[in-house]
């Protein structure tokens, strides 16, 4: 019992970085969802309606769920890890649009959600850049989590694992 608790305590920096990564992605998605609704003239900002609140909640939870399901693509080391994080960012973006659109408007939103998200990025490239920066920041935070977990899990043998190439680590250890 105490061994598990000590393992948890040693992993606190990794947990903090993981929580920060999820929080950043969810907050960015909530803001982008609200911006998309404002530009689509569905809502008005000063008096918040229930649609506004639901859209923010749907955007945040859908991004959290999409980030969770794409977590194996994010946080790898090296150039291969960066390339995998880029693919993971595309997966998270499309899944977030799909799920948030479905939660906001169940029939129409399933098709319109991803298209509205991509068109918002095309119309406002700064929004797309901010989204990418948040995701690559989350990639770095998840990399910290993986490094702390590897050091706790393997101890001295972690040095041997890190000497392998990124492809070997991915194939042998699923990292």
The domain locations on the chain are 15-173
Per-residue pLDDT of the chain (175 residues; tens, 9 = 90+): 556 655 555 567 777 888 889 999 999 999 888 888 877 655 555 667 788 888 889 999 999 999 999 988 888 888 888 898 999 999 999 999 999 989 988 888 888 888 888 888 898 889 899 999 999 999 988 888 887 776 665 555 556 667 777 787 777 776 5
pTM tops 0.85: no
The runs of H, that is alpha helices, within 70-162 are 78-104, 108-123, 125-154, 158-162
Give the span between the Cα atoms of 75 and 140, in whole angstroms. Answer: 6
Give the span between the Cα atoms of 154 and 148, in whole angstroms. Answer: 10
Would you state the structure tokens that stand for residue 165, as one six-digit string? 């190439």
Q: How many other C-beta atoms are found inside a 10 Å radius of the C-beta of residue 89?
A: 22
Q: Which residues of 29-47 are buried (b: 16+ CB within 10 A; e: fewer)?
A: bbbbbbebbeeeeebeeee
In the numeric block, the tokens 């990639």 are attached to 139
The CA angle 134-138-142, to the nearest 5 degrees, is 175
Distance of CA 93 to the CA centre of its chain: 9
């Amino acid at each position: 019992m105490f061994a598990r608790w000590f393992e948890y305590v040693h992993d606190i920096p990794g947990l903090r970085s993981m929580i920060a990564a999820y929080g950043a992605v969810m907050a960015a998605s909530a803001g982008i969802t609200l911006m998309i609704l404002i530009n689509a003239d569905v809502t008005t900002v000063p008096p918040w309606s229930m649609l506004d609140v639901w859209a923010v909640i749907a955007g945040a939870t859908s991004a959290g769920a999409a980030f969770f399901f794409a977590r194996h693509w994010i946080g790898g080391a090296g150039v291969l890890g960066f390339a995998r994080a880029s693919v993971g960012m595309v997966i998270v973006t499309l899944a977030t649009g799909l799920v948030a659109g479905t939660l906001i408007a169940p029939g129409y939103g399933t098709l319109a959600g991803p298209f509205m998200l991509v068109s918002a990025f095309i119309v406002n490239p700064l929004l797309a850049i901010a989204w990418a920066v948040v995701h690559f920041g989350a990639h770095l935070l998840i990399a910290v989590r993986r490094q702390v977990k590897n050091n706790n899990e393997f101890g001295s043998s972690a040095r041997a694992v890190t000497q392998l190439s990124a492809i070997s680590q991915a194939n042998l250890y699923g990292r």
